[in-house]
Structure 1
Amino acid sequence: MKCKNCSKQITGDYQYCPHCGQKTDIERLNFQQLLRDLWMAFSNTDRGILLLVKQLVYRPGRVARAYISGQRKTYFNPFSFLVIMVAVALFFILKFEDTAINYSKIETNEIELLRFSFRHFNVFILLNCPIYGFLIWLFFIGQGTNFVENLALSAYLSGQTMLYYTITIIIFIFFPSSMKILGLILGLFISFWYVLAVLQFYQTRSVWSIIKTVLVILITQFISQGIIMFTFSIYKKIDVNFL
């Protein structure tokens, strides 16, 4: 029997290919199989998204460190995770933006900027990920990691942050008056969580590492806001309806 994935010959009664690890009893793709694969992707105890989300809450840096250290079959791919979470967050933003955010209490000149940011939310987040990854690598250069490994950490953090944003949007829908306080709490929580992630990733507890991580967060936010303002100003100047 040949493996349908790697085409290597399999001799013996194997449930999984000894060469590539794929199941040997792969059936023709049908709707039932599709639903089963989707459920496994989310719930698989070895590398499902649900397991990943749970572990990223309290051990984000350790998850990223384990992934770059070779545990690729244990954890969901960070870049696939980021794309999925951005898509989920974008759906909720576009679907419930007007419900979750009370624009009547926002100044008129800020509304257009907010709408522009929300409409292109996915682009800004995907741009933000390599910026954060690069800055972490730069500030911790000489610690035995390369840029791409820090990019994996950033992808995990950005993807999980999208989940936090999505949960916050859902809360806004039911409690619109809580927007300011929840926004503040979320910002503080994410900042603390990012610091925790970097300390775990680099296996350090030094005050200097905390300071460097806070600086990275602040610089990343500054650059991100600059990108948003710059692209918005271009949008206004060329008078093209991106929305």
Structure 2
Amino acid sequence: MVQSVATKTCSNCGTPVESSFAHCPRCAQSTHLHRFTLGHLAHDVFHAVTHADKSILKLARDLAIRPGVVAYEYIIQGKRKKYFNPFTFLLLVLGFTLLMYSTFHPITKTLSMKPSQEQSRMLDMPEKRQAYEAAMQRNKEVLAFSERQAKLVTVTAIPILAFVFWLCFRKRGLNYAEHLVFNVLLMSIISLLGSLAIPIFEVLNISMLSTPSMILLYGSMIGYPALGYYQFFRFYKPISIAGAVGVSLLAVFVYNLTTMLATIGYMAWGAVQLLK
């Protein structure tokens, strides 16, 4: 059984290497390649997740407690090697988010199509009931879309939020692209927090559309970016915590207004189709 392969040329790039070399001088790949075993796979996964300064866990931990410091070091000071790539981190978080939503269906499973007793009394006419059922169906489609495309909802939120922060802080020297990177970091943690809450709410039998869920959602979407920008500008051009919260609140308002208008347009289009 072959345990390892001692190479005379690098298996990755073909560069000639001496047998005493531990790594290729050109691409840095190990010159002694083990065959894959479950033990090696477990080691590689553990190493990839926890290794040194570029670990996912270190980035997640640092972002959770000092998002502004991470953003300042990554964007302003250019410490790109210190942290795990934020865009790769976002993709991993979105994959986890998709898994949670597709497994637990936290939004659509709590939506009821049946009218309440009071609504039933108001829907005594067949035409009214038909219009109600059509509106509810469109609403269910919107919620199902947001659940099915949770990662798309997050991705579309980033440029909108970044634009508002850029607009409000445009005199502080950051360009729009740098605000985009900042909001990639912020939304990664917000999405991760929301995804981790899904199975917890499932165990506690708390609806994702309930008041506690909404408090968690809007609290994180307003408070966390405010904390991040407050920390960031402490190193750059200081702002008050109230100013950071105000801009964060405005950013969430603009995003919600955008999504609300899109939803109203979709519902109105459905109503027009029904009248034809």
Is the shorter-chain TM-score for this pair beyond 0.5, marking a shared fold?
A: yes
Q: State whether residues 46 and 74 of structure 1, in contact with CA within 8 Å, keep that contact through their aligned partners in structure 2.
A: yes
Give the aligned CA root-mean-square deviation in angstroms.
3.7
Q: TM-score, normalization: structure 1?
A: 0.77
> By how many angstroms is 1:164 displaced?
0.6
Is the aligned partner of 1:210 residue 2:237? no
Counterparts of 1:101 and 1:86, CA distance in 2: 21
Is the aligned partner of 1:200 residue 2:207? no
Judging changes above 3 Å, is the alpha-carbon distance between structure 1 residues 235 and 142 closer, same or farther for their aligned structure 2 residues? closer
- AA matched with 2:205: P
Larger Rg over CA atoms: 2
Is the aligned partner of 1:79 residue 2:87? yes
Is the aligned partner of 1:41 residue 2:70? no
Counterparts of 2:224 and 2:90, CA distance in 1: 17
Q: When the two structures are aligned, how many residues end up with a matched partner?
A: 239
Q: TM-score, normalization: structure 2?
A: 0.69
Ranges in structure 2 where 5+ consecutive residues have no aligned partner = 1-7, 116-132
Q: Partner of 1:95 in structure 2?
A: 103
Counterparts of 2:16 and 2:67, CA distance in 1: 40
Is the aligned partner of 1:70 residue 2:70? no
Ranges in structure 1 where 5+ consecutive residues have no aligned partner = none
Q: Which among 53, 59, 69 is matched to residue 60 of structure 2?
A: 53
> By how many angstroms is 1:161 displaced?
0.6
Instruction: Name which of structure 1's ranges 88-97 and 4-13 shifts more when overlaid on structure 2.
Output: 4-13
Judging changes above 3 Å, is the alpha-carbon distance between structure 1 residues 208 and 43 closer, same or farther for their aligned structure 2 residues? closer
Q: State whether residues 128 and 224 of structure 1, in contact with CA within 8 Å, keep that contact through their aligned partners in structure 2.
A: yes
Q: Which among 111, 116, 119 is matched to residue 148 of structure 2?
A: 119
Q: Partner of 1:25 in structure 2?
A: 31
Is the aligned partner of 1:137 residue 2:166? yes
Q: Which among 177, 184, 203 is matched to residue 155 of structure 1?
A: 184
Counterparts of 1:106 and 1:42, CA distance in 2: 47
> By how many angstroms is 1:104 displaced?
4.1
Percent of counterpart pairs with the same letter? 28
User: Matched residue of 1:74: which SS?
Assistant: coil
